[in-house]
Amino acid sequence: MPVVRSAEAVTHEIHGARFVSYATPLTGSKELCAWRGEIPAGTEAPAHTVDREEIFHLLVGELVFTLDGRAERIRAGDTVIVNAGTTLAVENPTDHTALSWVTTSIGLEAELADGTRIAPPWAN
């Protein structure tokens, strides 16, 4: 039975945010990846287009989530469904770190506005 202890989670940092990876093929997952996102106060992540669906659940805090140009303030307890092909940007305009739980299918890639492609290790 694969069990990932919190001390065994792998942490990655990019664009001012921290991604604490729990479920990946390296930890025994066959289809899904899951991680905790930590978005510090004042962070504005660059817009990027994802090639797979992501389910984003906000555990703590508030964020401004922009999907295909439409901004929405979300609060702890809210869930955002990001469909494949959607361009998203995340901003934390508050003075507290926001915590999220995100799931997607293995192999997620994202493309930044400048054409740069990212295959985040917490989703592969």
| Size (the chain), residues | 124
**In this predicted structure, what is the pLDDT of residue 41?**
98
**In this predicted structure, what is the pLDDT of residue 17?**
95
Strand, helix or coil at 43? Answer: coil
**In this predicted structure, what is the pLDDT of residue 2?**
82
**In this predicted structure, what is the pLDDT of residue 1?**
73
Long-range contacts of 63-66 (CB under 8 A, 24+ apart): 63/39, 63/90, 63/91, 63/92, 63/98, 63/100, 64/90, 64/91, 64/92, 64/93, 65/89, 65/90, 66/90, 66/91
Block mean pLDDT (10 aa), the chain, length 124: 90 94 94 97 96 98 97 98 98 98 97 94 90
DSSP conformation class of 44 = B
Tell the CATH topology of 10-123. Answer: Jelly Rolls (2.60.120)
**In this predicted structure, what is the pLDDT of residue 82?**
98
Residue 25: what are its φ and ψ, rounded to 5°?
Answer: -60, -30
Contacts of 111 (CB under 8 A, 6+ apart): 48, 49, 51, 117, 118
Strand, helix or coil at 39? Answer: strand
Q: Are strands 110-112 and 79-82 parallel, antiparallel or unpaired?
A: unpaired
**In this predicted structure, what is the pLDDT of residue 50?**
97
**In this predicted structure, what is the pLDDT of residue 124?**
87
- What is d(CA 86, CA 27) in angstroms, rounded to the nearest whole number? 28
**In this predicted structure, what is the pLDDT of residue 34?**
97
